[in-house]
Copies of this chain bind each other. A is one copy, B any other.
Amino acid sequence: MNPIEKLGQKAEFLIEVLPYIRSFHGKTIVIKYGGSAMTEEHLKRQFAEDVVLMKFVGMHPIIVHGGGPQISGMMKRLGKEPEFIKGVRVTDPETMAIVEMVLGGSVNKEIVTLINQMGGKGVGLTGKDGGLIRAKALSGQEDSMGHVGEVASIDADILRTLDEGRFIPVISPIAADASGKSYNINADLVAGALASALSAEKLLILTDVRGILDGNKQLLPSLSRTDVQGLIQEGVIGGGMLPKIEAALSTVESGVRKAHIIDGRVPHALLLEIFTDQGVGTEIVA
């Protein structure tokens, strides 16, 4: 392939993405960012590139990030052993303080900085900023883990304001209740709640797996609530995948058109999901 042919091929691909750019123009895409895509250097960089490109071609990407490993790491440095009950971090006041520092002060700003370096204008927020998220204690677990919460309500005013200004919001899953008490909330659930509140076009959850697999390790391209219940009973899915699936299911049931659980280890997974018909994971359908 000579240089001109190569250029031609590149132009062809640009044109292939035109229908996708057209149909997502002005639409909100909520992205749960986590896993390898948040830890491996080249994937981090590609994620930031993807988000900035999405913004420039007219979409409104909104990032919600996790940071479990970073939290556990800091806890250990402070001589505190991370503890989990049914996959949920036991969050006493001291742990909560560490969560806030690590997520809001470190992880969030690292993402903002990467976005800025790619030419975007990231703005880091927690659920506290602008009163974005009001939290409450996670029902049924108030006693054992005082600072594990869930979303009580959302006031998306700050996101709409930032949107007018060409900014890309990056959100840590931390929020306060009416009394000012802080809560750590599962980032998948925060992403789902924001997608619903914003009537987003799409919810994308980045994971470290190829998608949802069946009993034979085959990728399931699409799953409904009924399918999911079957897979849980068969013991095929469980663990950390459950909140992701639940977030996706309740989001599509609230009217968001599409939710996908995608493989964040694939380079430029976001672009492939948005700009091709070949999905890189499993779509969750209402």
Contacts and interface: CB of A to CB of B under 8 A. Distances in A.
Given A18-B52, A121-B130, A130-B122, A271 B116 contact: no
A17 interface: yes
Given A10-B13, A17-B14, A128-B109, A164 B167 contact: no
Copies in the assembly, this chain: 6
A83 interface: no
Interface string A1-31: 0011001101111111111011001000000
A35 interface: no
Contacts of A207: none
Contact of A56 (B16, B21, B275): B21
A119 B22 contact: yes
Interface string A100-114: 111111101100111
B22 A130 contact: no
A124 B123 CA distance: 10
Contact of A18 (B8, B53, B123, B179): B53
A176 interface: yes
Contacts of A78: 77-78
How many residues of A sit at the interface, in one of the four size bands? 35 or more
B49 A18 contact: yes
A276 interface: yes
Contacts of A161: 161-162, 164-165, 167
Contact of A121 (B8, B131, B266): B131
A231 interface: no
Interface of A: 3-4, 7-8, 10-19, 21-22, 25, 46, 49-50, 52-53, 56-58, 74, 77-78, 97, 100-106, 108-109, 112-114, 116-119, 121-126, 128-131, 157-158, 160-162, 164-165, 167, 174, 176, 179-180, 182, 266-268, 271-272, 275-276, 278, 280
